[in-house]
Amino acid sequence: MPLIAEVAVSNTAYSFDMLFSYGVPESMASELKPGCRVLIPFGRQDKPRTGIVMKTSVGEISCLKAVSELIDSEPALSEELLKLAVYVRENTFCTYFEAVKAMLPPAMSISVSEKYELSDNFCGYDGLSPDAARLLDALRAVEKSRDFNEICKSAASSGGRKLLNELCACGALISDNVLRQAAGDASVRMIRLSDRYIADSSGFKLTPKQKKAADFLAECGCASLKETAYMCGITAAVLTRLVASGAAEEYDAEVLRAVEGETDEKRRIDDVILSEEQEAVRGEVLSVLRQRRPKVFLLQGVTGSGKTSVFERLIADTIEMGRSALLMIPEIGLTPQILRRFRALFGDEVAVIHSGLTLGQRLDEYKRIKRGDAKIVIGTRSAVFAPLENIGLIVMDEEGERTYKSESAPRYSACDIAKQRCAHHGAVLLLASATPSIESRYLAEKGSYSLLRLTKRYSSNPLPEVEIIDMNEERQSGNRSEFSRRLKEEIDRNLRCGEQTILLLNRRGYHTIISCCDCFRPVYCPNCSVPMTYHKANGMMMCHYCGCVSEPVKICPSCGSDRLKSMGFGTQRLEEELEMFFPSARILRMDADTAFSRYSYEKNFNAFRRGDYDIMIGTQMIGKGLDFPKVTLVGVLSVDKALYAGDFRSYERTFSLITQVVGRSGRGSASGRALLQTFIPDHYVMNLAAQQDYDAFYREEITIRRAMVFPPICDMCVFCFSGIDEESVKNGSYAVLGLMNVRLRELCPKTPVRVLGPVKCSYGRINGKFRYRIIMKCKNNSEMRGFISEILVAGAGLPEMKRVSLYADMNGDTGV
């Protein structure tokens, strides 16, 4: 029976996304398998598109379009990942292709272009429509290939490809699809002796230089052209003539592009000594690993408790069992430090995946993992899709970080994906943090997760002593700077003692707001409802949301006044004031403006670790997971605004940030201390963060969430509307609300649902598009996901939604 391919097609809208059926030509039937990428004709005009085969079946194909081309000789995705793609689509409300695209390295993205040329065998115009005949005349009159392609492109855009298809069907034009991959395989030109020469070398008359090269190749088997020429002391021309004689042959050999993070340091796993508390945690997890059954552990360990050492031993245990392991980290900046530690232990068995790599490097790491050359993967969120086989352990370090939740389609949670993979492989998922997410701790209390604890620092040092500084008193005493007198004294003390200091200020730039003194309006980004930030380093005003850059304004755009005032305090200004107070101090600034290259994180953090700098200032990127033994002082300059970010998770995130950055202090032989500057010193979040008392914070926070019915007590789906016309967006949101109310009445009355909105988003305009949202409190079950999917599909067909985009995000951010 003929074979039918069910294909996930690229660039489809969610409202009409499905698996499309295509007939498989007999010549492809033996090679085409689920997971292979294909080229298919799509739509009324049969435009070529890429797709991936999700499944195959047998049946009648006479009424189906045929697959045009098979791109992969072997499946790009395994059966497990294809099933996972279906799960991602159903749970994140994306298209099939968006789900599978997230699993492949960006370098494997395929662009398709059509190339046309006139057929030499076509004569006459019989059967052609008048328009097709005129197009053929125009093409025949063209002399330059560039003009030929322009006419074809114009015909495709204006006539919808109808005329081009007609000319191809009658044989007047020949069409060919050109496929380009975003990044190709790296290769090196090699040389080896031919079989004929190996069988009988006496039949070849070689020059002395050629004979020297032949003897070298006979000894080593093969080598690159460059290496052969160098080792034999000859030129490339000699090798070219050797190949021409038939004594040798050239070929391309694949080479893998190296990833930064190589280390000469070698460690043995037996040198990783665990404390009694750490060994107890390892034993709990190891017992389940040996049973090969899926289970989720939540490891709550204070900062500096040695969680990474536990990971190292457990991953070594997993590899010893013949299984693979995945370690996920929340920030690219943590990758070099972790990668160096693990490569010192496990060598080339470690692969790394994150967006800071080049396209070629990510492709090569993907190939190493898929081939089984790397059994351990370290990476950020996207690494959860690594093509590992026989997974035994997945570790999510700092599991409460929001970077583990994707903000673009597919809007998946890495934790949810990890659970699915562990269920498939019978693996253990280990979630770890000093400040677990409220959702994870809640599930641990319910018994869905097993809670493990590390209550002591590995070095036996106490946790840093934290002092709260009331900045109201500083202002009353005449201190107008961002540095309290106490913080200045402690920084000076550290400089005199040769110890290092970390200062956290979670705001980039120099001035955070430029405001008018007459109309009191800030200078907004022209594309967003966000104030522009002045950056002194380049003398420009920048929007941190859309990236808009402009010259500093001298006239208020709202009222025309020239009385503008710069306010706010960012990391650039902090650096400038530090240089003024401590002229001899060596200062390192780490924020998105200084750490934009893939090497800057490692370079700067290594320099600080070596002691090349006395003070490091930065945003939240310096607050988690980093280990600097010489740091004995941490100063938190201002996090008050974070408490009122408009998101129900703002208290949780503020507590976590303070606790984590304070934990960078005192990790070496000397004890640590921290100063927390605030204008709200009596706020319970500030006090509990200063005490580093997560359990007390959790009790307070879960009480509020129960009272307000927020996650984890329920799930929360956000419907987001956007468009260039605000009135259209607003009308569209109300039209969808009406549709939701009608459909909700049809659901089972016992289904608890609360719908809030529509309202304008906290930032009502981003990148030129106005934004509204509807928040729905519900339970994330199959019935509710079906309802959400139905609303997205039906909503797209409403007349009010004609110029409005809509997507749904389950348990995503609500405060942006």
DSSP letter (8 states) at residue 570? -
Distance between CA 436 and CA 398 in Å, rounded? 7
Helix axes 79-92, 782-796, angle to 10 degrees: 70
Q: Is the pLDDT of residue 596 over 70?
A: no
**Could you tell me which residue, 74 or 115, shows the higher pLDDT?**
74
Please give the distance of CA 507 from its chain centroid, rounded to a whole number.
22
Q: Which of 72-86, 447-461, 686-700 has the lowest mean pLDDT?
A: 447-461
In angstroms, the CA 587 to CA 614 distance is 6
Give phi and psi for 10, each to the nearest 5.
-70, 155
Q: Taking 60 as the threshold, does the pLDDT of residue 597 lie above it?
A: no
- Kindly write down the DSSP assignment for every residue of 242-300, as one continuous string: HHHTTSEEEEEEE-PPP-S---S----GGG-PPPHHHHHHHHHHHHHHHHT--EEEEEE
Q: Are strands 513-516 and 673-678 parallel, antiparallel or unpaired?
A: unpaired
| Cα–Cα dist 248/238, whole Å | 11
Contact 304, 454 (CB under 8 A): no
Q: What is the DSSP string of 169-196?
A: HTTSEEEEEEEEESS---EEEEEEE-HH
Q: For 3-12, 58-67, 124-133, 479-488, which range has the lowest pLDDT when averaged over its residues?
A: 124-133
Query: With bands split at pLDDT 50, 70 and 90, how would you rate the model's confidence at 17?
Result: very high
Instruction: Provide the pLDDT for residue 749.
Output: 63
Rounded Cα distance between 429 and 297, Å, is 6
Average pLDDT score over the chain? 89
| Single-letter residue type at 724 | I
638 closest CA partner among 815, 468, 482, 467: 482
Question: Rounded CA gap, 76 and 569, in Å?
Answer: 49
Q: Alpha-carbon torsion 475, 479, 481, 482, what sign?
A: negative
> Would the pTM count as exceeding 0.95?
no
Separation between Cα atoms, residue 428 and residue 355, nearest integer Å: 26
Specify whether the CB–CB gap between 13 and 75 falls below 8 A. no
> d(Cα 590, Cα 534) in Å, to the nearest integer?
17
Helix ranges (H only) for 93-235 are 96-101, 130-141, 145-159, 162-169, 195-199, 208-220, 225-232
Which pair of structure tokens corresponds to residue 338?
């972790």
Question: What six digits make up the tokens of 259?
Answer: 């990833």
Which residues, in sequence order, are bridge partners of residue 470? 678
Per-residue confidence (pLDDT) for residue 644, from 0 to 100: 85
CA-based end-to-end distance of the chain? 54
Q: Residue 599: pLDDT band by 50, 70, 90 thresholds?
A: low
How far apart CA 400 and CA 652 sit, in angstroms, is 9
User: Per-residue pLDDT averaged across 323-340, rounded?
Assistant: 87
Phi-psi region of 498 (alpha: psi -120 to 50; beta: other; left: phi over 0): left
DSSP 668-737: SSS--EEEEEES-TT-HHHHHHHHT-HHHHHHHHHHHHHHHT-TTSSEEEEEEEEES-HHHHHHHHHHHH
In whole angstroms, give the CA distance from residue 447 to residue 436: 15
Beta-bridge partner residues of 717: 776, 810
Decide if 319 contacts 347 (C-beta within 8 A).
no
Predicted pLDDT of residue 260: 66
Helix (H) or strand (E) holding 810, with range, is strand 805-810
What CA dihedral angle connects 316, 319, 323 and 328, to 10 degrees? 50
Pair 79, 41: CB distance under 8 Å: no
The pLDDT value recorded for residue 158 is 64
Residue entry with tokens 């200004």: 573
Residue 159 has a pLDDT of 59
CB 604 within 8 A of CB 541: no
Percent above pLDDT 70 for the chain:
96
What's the chain's length in residues? 816
State the DSSP H helix or E strand holding residue 470, giving kind and residue range, or none if neither.
strand 465-470
Q: Residue written as tokens 């995503």?
A: 812
Over range 76-87, report the average pLDDT. Answer: 96
**Token duo for residue 455:** 């209550």
C-alpha closest to that of 508 among 543, 553, 469, 471: 543
Distance CA 735, CA 727 (A): 12
- Torsion angle in degrees (nearest 10) through CA of 191, 196, 198, 202: -120
More confidently predicted of 794 and 127:
794
8 A C-beta contact, residue 583 and residue 589: no
Tokens coding 396: 């999510």
pLDDT digits (tens, 9 = 90+) for 389-408: 999 999 999 999 999 999 99
Provide the residue type at 62 as one letter. Answer: S
Classified as helix, coil or strand, 752 is coil
Q: What is the DSSP code (8-state) at residue 107?
A: G
| pLDDT band of 304, cuts 50, 70, 90 | confident
10-22 mean pLDDT: 94
Instruction: State how far the Cα of 765 lies from the Cα of 635, in Å rounded to an integer.
Output: 34
Confidence of residue 816 (pLDDT cuts 50, 70, 90): low
How far, in Å, CA of 10 to CA of 99, rounded? 10
What was the pLDDT predicted at 533?
85
Q: Span 212-219, mean pLDDT? A: 90
Best CA proximity match to 338, nearest among 394, 402, 263: 263
pLDDT digits (tens, 9 = 90+) for 498-542: 999 999 988 877 677 788 888 888 888 889 988 888 887 778 888
Cβ atoms of residues 56 and 5 within 8 Å: yes
Instruction: Please give the helix or strand (H or E) that residue 69 lies within, else none.
Output: strand 69-70
| Nearest one of 397, 432, 399, 392 to 416, comparing CA atoms | 399
Give the span between the Cα atoms of 422 and 343, in whole angstroms.
Answer: 24
Distance CA 334, CA 723 (A): 37
Q: Which tokens hold the place of 298? A: 């939540």
Residues 780 and 718: their CA atoms lie apart, in Å, by 12
**CB distance 533 to 570 below 8 Å:** yes
- According to the model, what pLDDT value does residue 334 have? 75
